[in-house]
Amino acid sequence: NAGVMQNPRHLVRRRGQEARLRCSPMKGHSHVYWYRQLPEEGLKFMVYLQKENIIDESGMPKERFSAEFPKEGPSILRIQQVVRGDSAAYFCASSPAESDGYTFGSGTRLTVV
Amino acid sequence: AQSVTQLGSHVSVSEGALVLLRCNYSSSVPPYLFWYVQYPNQGLQLLLKYTSAATLVKGINGFEAEFKKSETSFHLTKPSAHMSDAAEYFCAVSDLGSASKIIFGSGTRLSIRP
C-alpha cells in the first residue's frame, strides 16, 4: 500500500510562472490536506478537501492559489504567477476519516527564482 | 480556534540522557493531540496520538507523552536519547471547529550530543 505520493519532489519556477503540485492520497483515504512550511517555520494549514469538495480553505491566500481534488486523479495545488515568497515546502496529507491523524507525503520543495 | 505552543525552538541533550520536549495547548480540552517527527528533507511521521482513552500515550521509537489537563500540557519524553532521534518535532492539536483540521506548533529541533 503506497503512502501519500507527491510530485514533483523539487520544482523550480521563474517569477510569474505557474506551479502545479500533485498529491495522490493513500488508497482508501478520502480526506486531503495541504500545508506549507516556510524555512525555519512550522507547518501552516492551507486547505482541506474531500472528493470534489473544498471543506476548509481558511489558510489559502486570497489570490493566486487554488486547490482541487477531482473525482478521479490526484489533488492539485495550483499557484499562479509565483513570487519569491512562495518558495517553501508544500506538504500533502491524507486520512481515511476525521481525526485519524494524517499520513504525510514527502513534500514538494518549490523554489522561485 | 485551538493552538499549541512549543517551548524551546531548539533542545540539545547528550546521548543517553532524558529527552523532554514541551507542548502546551490552548485552554479548551482538544479532541485530539499529536506529536509528529520530521527528519531532514522528509515529510512528517506520526509519533503518537492522544484520544482521551488514556492520559499516558506510548508512541514509536520509545517516545511517550502525558496529557495533563490541569497544566494544559502534552509534553513528549524519551528516557534515553539516541543519535537517530535528532530531528524536528511538532506538537499538534485537532481544531475544535473541524476535527479533521490539525494545527501545528512551531516545532522544536532536537540535537543529540555524542
Residue with C-alpha cell 510530485?
A7
Structure confidence by residue, pLDDT tens digits, B64-78: 999 998 899 999 999
- Best residue of A43, A45, A46, A54 to probe chain B, by most B CBs closer than 10 Å: A43
* Grid cell of A53 as nine digits: 469538495
- Report chain B residues whose CB lies below 8 A from the CB of A31: 100
Q: What is the pLDDT of residue A1?
A: 53
Q: Which of A101-105, B82-86, B97-101 has the highest mean pLDDT?
A: B82-86
- Exposed e or buried b for every residue in B19-49, given b needs 16+ CB within 10 A? bebbbbbeeeebbbbbbbbbeeeebbebbbb
Distance from CA of B46 to the nearest CA of A (A): 8
- Considering only CB atoms, B105 lies closest to which of A4, A42, A55, namely A42
The residues, any chain, with a CB within 8 Å of residue B9's CB and separated by 6 or more, are B106, B107, B108, B109
* Grid cell of A2 as nine digits: 503506497
Q: What is the pLDDT of residue B2?
A: 77
| pLDDT at A2 > cutoff 80 | no
Structure confidence by residue, pLDDT tens digits, A33-71: 999 998 777 889 999 999 889 999 999 999 999 999 999
Determine the average pLDDT of the residues in B97-107: 78
- Exposed e or buried b for every residue in B63-99, given b needs 16+ CB within 10 A? bbbebeeeebbbbbebeebeeebbbbbbbbbbbeebe
What's the full length of chain A, in residues? 113
Q: B42–A41: do the CB atoms touch at under 8 Å? A: no
Quote the CA–CA distance of A48 and B54 in Å, as a whole number. 29
Q: What is the pLDDT of residue A98?
A: 62
Q: What is the pLDDT of residue B97?
A: 56
- Considering only CB atoms, B103 lies closest to which of A45, A105, A109, namely A45
Quote the CA–CA distance of B29 and B92 in Å, as a whole number. 13
Say how far residue A78 (Cα) sits from the centre of its chain.
8
The residues, any chain, with a CB within 8 Å of residue B86's CB and separated by 6 or more, are B110, B111, B112
Structure confidence by residue, pLDDT tens digits, A62-92: 999 999 999 999 999 999 999 999 999 999 9
